[in-house]
Amino acid sequence: MRLIKPNTNIDFIAYAKYAFIFSIIMFVISIASFSMEKLTLGIDFTGGVIVEVGYPEAVELQGVRDALSDGGYPDATVQHFGASDAVMIRLATDEGADTSSVSTQVMSSLQNADSQAELRRVEFVGPQVGDELVNKGALALLYTVIAILIYVIVRFHWKLAAGAVAALVHDVFITLGVFSLFHLDFDLTVLAALLAVLGYSLNDTIVVFDRIRENFRRMRKATPAEVVKASINQTLARTLMTSGTTILTLLALFFLGGEVIHGFATALLVGIIVGTYSSIFVASALALKLKITSHDMFPPREEDADKASQVTR
């Protein structure tokens, strides 16, 4: 049974103005959240101590949190790591603090509550390393967007490239806004998820752009709005099936994957939902606003060559 009819004719262009208002509202909320709350950076970026502790049997996280709170670490982030008998503890430390003594104090607090707690691993992330990661992460996002802009300009046209980049910036901003608004930890796994979202969203957008280019060649008498509307409808089933199956997988990771990948799954979930929306309503709609035409996609010389080849056939 098909969820999407093969000949759908939804007028997405008519809804574009409402989508534009919705996107502006989401942008304003995201920017307001950035200015007031900012991102809750994880230890990967701020610096701190990561302590992995093992237990002989499954341990309740609340008991570990209570032991750390009694030991003077009420703000520690505690989560299972791989199994229910392994715990990862993340502690933000003040600049200049003796990080080597932190793990000793942490283990002392845990062993007071359970003498069988065993230290397995300790990692220290300095604030300078954290600042460097922030800078490199921001540059990675910037370089990715620039590379995508160049790629779409070469493959299609700058008007479509502008739409693709606008959709990508839209997706990243709204995803970051969700993390800022709900005070979710932003760490390296979330940054990796953002880069994955860029690739996923671009892939969806390129599929629509390919169909737009084909339809500009086939639908000679149609207006650009009719071409774009037809192209989105023709790729709608593929877009929803791809997004739907991916979202189902991410929901399994979100609910069953544990706290270690919770931020990663959250970023991908938000990014893919927003990316699917932007590939339909943002990228192509902006190209229409820039007055994309068949002459942009196929310059007169190329059109003449096509006609000549058809005549010779």
The C-alpha atoms of residue 268 and residue 253 are separated, in whole angstroms, by 10
| Beta-bridge partners for 246 | none
For the chain, which domains are there? 16-39+130-309 (1.20.1640.10), 48-125 (3.30.70.3400)
What's the confidence (pLDDT) of residue 37?
74
Model pTM above 0.85: no
What's the confidence (pLDDT) of residue 157?
86
What's the confidence (pLDDT) of residue 42?
80
Tens-digit pLDDT string for the chain (313 aa): 444 555 677 888 888 889 999 999 998 999 898 888 788 888 777 778 888 999 999 999 889 999 999 888 888 888 888 788 899 888 877 655 666 688 888 899 999 888 889 988 888 877 666 677 778 878 888 888 888 889 888 888 888 889 998 998 899 999 999 999 998 888 888 988 998 888 888 888 899 999 998 998 888 888 999 999 999 999 998 888 999 999 999 999 898 877 778 889 999 999 999 999 998 899 988 888 888 888 887 766 544 545 545 544 4
Q: 42 and 301 in contact (C-beta within 8 Å)? A: no
> How is residue 240 written in tokens?
């929803």
Q: What is the CA radius of gyration of the chain?
A: 25
> How is residue 97 written in tokens?
């603090």
| Rounded-to-10 torsion of CA 261, 31, 140, 201 | 70
- Rounded to the nearest 5 degrees, what angle is found at the Cα of 89, between the Cα atoms of 104 and 41? 120
At 182, which amino acid appears?
Answer: F
What's the confidence (pLDDT) of residue 3?
47
Please enumerate in sequence order all residues whose Cβ is within 8 A of that of 257, keeping only pairs 6 or more positions apart, or say none: 265
What's the confidence (pLDDT) of residue 303?
47
User: Tokens 């929901």 appear where?
Assistant: 251
Q: 175 and 271 in contact (C-beta within 8 Å)? A: yes
What's the confidence (pLDDT) of residue 96?
57
The CA–CA distances, whole Å, from 225 to 14, 57, 61, 148, 160 equal 10, 63, 56, 25, 14
The C-alpha atoms of residue 37 and residue 301 are separated, in whole angstroms, by 54
What's the confidence (pLDDT) of residue 300?
64
| Beta-bridge partners for 41 | 186
CA atoms within 13 A on the CB side of 226: 9
The C-alpha atoms of residue 67 and residue 88 are separated, in whole angstroms, by 14
What's the confidence (pLDDT) of residue 154?
87
Q: 77-81 and 83-92: which strand pairing?
A: antiparallel
| Beta-bridge partners for 185 | 40
